[in-house]
Structure formats: structure tokens, C-alpha cells
Amino acid sequence: MSRRTYAIGIDFGTESGRALLVDCTDGAELGTQVYRYRNGVLDERLPAPHEDVVLAHSWALQDPEDYVRTVQETVPALLAETGVDPADVIGLGIDFTACTMLPTLADGTPLCLVEDLRHEPHAWVKLWKHHAAQPEADRVNAVAAERGEAWLPRYGGRISSEWFFPKALQILDEAPHVYARAGRLLEAADWVVWQLTGVETRNSCTAGYKAMWSKSEGFPVSAYFAALDPRFEDVVDEKMVRDVVPVGGRAGGLSEQAAAWTGLAPGTPVAVANVDAHVSAPAVGVTEPGAMVAIMGTSICHILLGDSLVNVDGMCGVVEDGVVPGLFGYEAGQSAVGDIFAWFVEHAVPPAVHDAARGRGVSVHEVLAAEAAALWPGESGLLALDWWNGNRSVLVDADLRGLLVGMTLATRPAEIYRALIEATAFGTRVIVDAFEAAGVPVKRIVACGGLPERNKLLMQIYADVTGRELAVAASMQAPALGAAMFGAVAAGAAGGGYDSIVDASRHMTRPSTEAYAPDPLRHAAYEPLYREYVRLHDLFGRGGDDVMRRLGEIQHDALA
């Protein structure tokens, strides 16, 4: 390529949106702009003027206008910051949390922007971590199991309450009048691309991973939806689109309106929408079978590439062409990781540690990590189950809850901190072990996300627990980089980009410069602790002891 070209990726996260401008030649990251969502995560009440509408436990909503504001705020600032000529920006891609979905009118207007529906919680965007559709998920699973639906094993035998149809069904169950007003039910990712291009598309990644669609079979049959609820029979034809577009394609060109929002040229190629985790794989060079990317932040998402279709117990899903064309993309995940450490620091760490952090000018995490690093595996006598936000993978049960065992009067905060890190590392190992046991090899792991950079102790513990080297991605903003790569692919080689995501990845991924190797002694020392973890995992997670579910029921009754 003689002419310098650029692509922009926009990563829509949980609390904010991030736009990144990269050089298509070598992936150099020239500028970043972040917009913190004005209304953030709505998990207690609706925004003004409807702040009197209180949300029930485990709800999590968002405001779609925050997505538009992200585009409006970040892209012009990015162009200004980098001085790049909009004419040289050849493509735009986006990635999103998922399943984050919303109901709209047939023209794409979100129902929460329709005046008489603004006070209806079900009219708003349901964020990925909205867990209130568990009864619906239970029904989705029970009916699928009863009918022997062939797609069920592809999702590890259980559908999560986070996914598309449980969320859609919850709207129907609890607010049929809102459901009736919805001309469309769609992923927020596809909605944003619709706003950018004026063209409605449905991307294969969210459809495949979150809405039980497959390339060969399409969506589940209407009889299945009818068995969930007669009114749900035609949900796909009434409120969705059967034409699902593969990722790596072009959704359309930037509309005049979106060009005005961004300062980019009208017609700039826009990629089909994608998911934050999945788009990270090519961004860190994970494009061949046996390679896994672990996106480590508030939660962890694992994307593993394989060359055949295998049903792995409890996986989130496997989708052909879902990540890289020609391969099967396996997804697994841990629903709370960084979230647990943040919870611990905010709600369970005493003033002495906060004071020490202030005194040394470091974070509370750093004080705890420094002390925890001096401990040998098992020295604290503590063990935790990392289910503060349920278990998204292997057990796929949002009703599971956290557990900590082994406390004595001598237990100290740094010991608990380390036990929590270890628990999440054990959770990762359970996932890796499950893949390998099912015959899907895990040959190498690349970590990206916020945690690898921020917490070296955590990375070393993960290496020691799994007994595998963890390479750290060179990019600190892999999802946005991956989205930009897809933007370059939307342009195509003729347009100054690339013709395939593998090509784009080869050129635009910089090599990893940091890796954590397992320490053989510590790996061996973790074996007995890991056995205890697995036993408790199975005891509490597979029905041997149902205390967590019963505590949830007792809590539910107490709150009623």
C-alpha cells in the first residue's frame, strides 16, 4: 500500500465507549477517545424524569442515546487529536458487549425514546449483565431439553439468562404491551450500525453466540418458540430479520447524518457489527486453531479457535465462522473477575490498607498485591468459589453465588485478596481443562483487557494455576483495535484495507512483548488446592448441595 490509510474502531463497553484510530499498514495506534456514558449502568432506577421507577434486583439497563453520544463525542475529537484527514479514514468498525439488546419501532426508534414508554423499564436497553430473565432462561432450557432441540448441545446444554431470547421473553412475560409495541428486537451493536448506515443488518456473531442461530440451520423453529409461549411463536418473523450477515462483511456506507456526527466522509465503509470479545481474537493475532484469547477485565471472556465442531460441556457457544471465517469459534467466560476484586476493595478492605495506599501513593490493589505476592499457594488456608455474579461457563447458572471458606481469626485482607484471585484462576483452569477433555486443544493463550496490565500478581497466579504461559497482548485496547481491523476489511484491499480479517490481523497486530511463565513448584503446590476447588465447584454447582439456589429463593421471599 503506497497511500497511508487509517481505520477507526469503536468499542462500546459497560461504562463507556472508546474510539481508536489506527494506521492500517502496521496497526500503530495514533489516538484514543473515551466517552463515559452519561447514564452509565441503570441498575437502581430509571434516569430523570422517571427516577421514581425503581428497578428490581439483578436488573441492568442502558440508555441507547449514550451510544449515539459516544459516536458524536469521540470520533470528531479523535480526528482533531490525530490530525488525520477524514478522507484517509477508509473504514469504521464497532464492537459491543453482548447480549445487549433493545426493543425498537420498525424504523429503529428505541421504545425508551417513545414518550409514553419512557417510564417502562422494559422499553430500555437490557445490558449484558441484566440477570433478571433467569425464570425465562430456565424455561428456554427446559423446553429445549424436552423437545431435544439440536442446537442446545452447541451451547453447552444451557442457555444463559444473559442471552437474547430469555431477555426478549422477559419483556413478553412482564410487559406484553411493550412487547407488542416492538417492531424490532435487536442487539444494540446492530442498532448502532443501523444508526451509522441507515441499513438494518444482523451480524452473525451475536446471532450465533447469543440468539441460537447457526449458518446451517438458522434460528430455532417456530414450534419451539410457540412452546415457550404461543405469543412468541413468530418472534423471528415479527420482530427480527432472518438474513444474518457474516462478520467480516460490510454493512453499508456512513450515512449523511452519521457523517455529520463524526466528521468522516459520507459513504465511508462501515463493518458489520461485532462483539468485544470475539473481535479481540484477530486483534491479538489469534487466528489459528488452538489459539485462545482471554479478555480479562471486570469479567473474562475466552475465545478459542478450533477446526472442527465439538460439543463441550457448559461452553457458552460454538459458532462456525463466528470469529474467523473457516474456523469454529468457541466461547467461554467467567461472569465476574475484576468485578470481584473491585467489590472486595470497595466493601471489604479496612482503613489501614487504604491509608497505606494513600501513604505510598499507590492503589489499594497494589498494597494488597504486594503483601499477597509473599504468600505461598495454600499458605492462607483459604479457598473461594468465584461466583459473585453466578457462573457463566461450564455450569451456566446465574443463581450460583460466592463462597469463601477457611477463615480464622488470623485471616488478613491480603490473604482473602489472593484467595479471590486464585479462585478466578481456578475458574479459568476449569474452562481450559473442559476444552482439552472434549478434544479441543488449547495450545497458546494470549491475554488482553485491563487486568493483565494492572495486576502482575494475578497474571503470575494464572500462569502458575493453569501451568501455561500467558502472553500479554501488545495492544491495551484490543477490542477497539479489532473493530478497526474489521473496518479495514469492510474497505477491502481495493479501498486501502484488506480482503480478509486474517490478512488484517497479520499486518495490524504487533507482537507480544510480555509473557508470564508458570513456576513449576508453585504449579505443583496448586494441585491439591485446585482439587479442592473442583470438588466444591461440583458440589455446589452441579446439584450436590443446593444451598446457593436456596439462599437465593429465601432472599427472594424475604424481599417480597
> Which residues of the shown chain bind a copy of itself in the complex (CB under 8 A)?
57, 336, 339-340, 343, 346-351, 354, 376-383, 388-389, 401-413, 416, 525, 528-529, 532, 535-536, 539-540, 545, 547-548, 550-552, 554-555, 557-559
Nearer to a copy of itself, 24 or 536 (CB): 536
In the complex, what is the shortest distance from the CB of residue 478 to a copy of itself, in angstroms, rounded to a whole number?
A: 24
| Least distance in angstroms from the C-beta of 118 to a copy of itself | 26
Nearer to a copy of itself, 120 or 339 (CB): 339
H or E segment to which residue 291 belongs: strand 291-296
> CB of 342: closest distance to a copy of itself in angstroms?
9
**CA 137 to mean position of chain CA atoms:** 18
Q: What are 485's strand-pairing partners?
A: none
For a copy of itself, the closer of residues 2 and 408 by Cβ is: 408
Closer Cβ to a copy of itself, 404 or 493, answer by number? 404
3-state DSSP call for residue 135? helix
- Nearest Cα residue to 428 out of 491, 546, 334: 334
- The rounded distance, in Å, linking the Cα atoms of 452 and 516 is 10
Q: Which is nearer to a copy of itself, 28 or 405 (CB)?
A: 405
Q: Would you say 146 or 346 has its CB closer to a copy of itself?
A: 346
Asked whether the beta carbons of 159 and 216 are under 8 A apart, the reply is no
Cis (ω within 30 of 0) for the bond into 99? yes
User: Residue 397: CB partners within 8 Å, gap ≥ 6?
Assistant: 158, 390, 391, 541
What sections of 83-213 are H helices per DSSP?
134-147, 164-174, 176-181, 188-197, 204-210
Cβ 529 to a copy of itself shortest distance, Å:
6
Q: Is 499 exposed, middle or buried (0-12, 13-18, 19+ CB in 10 A)?
A: middle
Grid cell, residue 202, equals 444482523
Strands 291-296 and 444-448: parallel
CB of 548 to a copy of itself, least distance (A): 7
Q: How, if at all, do strands 291-296 and 300-306 pair?
A: antiparallel
DSSP 44-69: SBPPTT-TT-BPPTT--EE-HHHHHH
CB of 98 to a copy of itself, least distance (A): 20
**At 554, which amino acid appears?**
I
Residues 377, 366: Cα–Cα separation, whole Å: 19
- Residue 546 CB, shortest distance to a copy of itself, in Å, is 9
> Considering the complex, what minimum distance in angstroms separates the CB of residue 196 from a copy of itself?
33
Residue whose CB is less far from a copy of itself, 451 or 536: 536
Judged by CB, which is closer to a copy of itself: 280, or 380? 380
| Distance linking the first and last C-alpha atoms of the chain | 64
Pairwise CA distance, residues 470 & 472, whole Å: 6
For 197, half-sphere exposure in the C-beta direction (CA atoms, 13 angstrom radius) is 25
Contacts with 227 (C-beta within 8 Å, 6 or more apart), sequence order: 143, 147
What is the smallest separation between the CB atom of 51 and a copy of itself, expressed in angstroms?
19
Beta bridge partners of 92: 8, 270
Q: How far is the CB of 344 from a copy of itself (least distance, A)?
A: 9
Q: Which is nearer to a copy of itself, 47 or 343 (CB)?
A: 343
CB of 183 to a copy of itself, least distance (A): 35
Tell the smallest beta-carbon distance from residue 476 to a copy of itself (Å): 25
Contacts of 114 (CB under 8 A, 6+ apart): 105, 123, 181
CB atoms within 10 A of CB 44: 9
Q: Which is nearer to a copy of itself, 230 or 376 (CB)?
A: 376
Distances (CA, A) of 324 to 121, 347, 441: 36, 41, 17
Residue among 16 and 411 whose Cβ is closer to a copy of itself: 411
Instruction: Pick the closer one to a copy of itself by CB: 61 or 472.
Output: 61
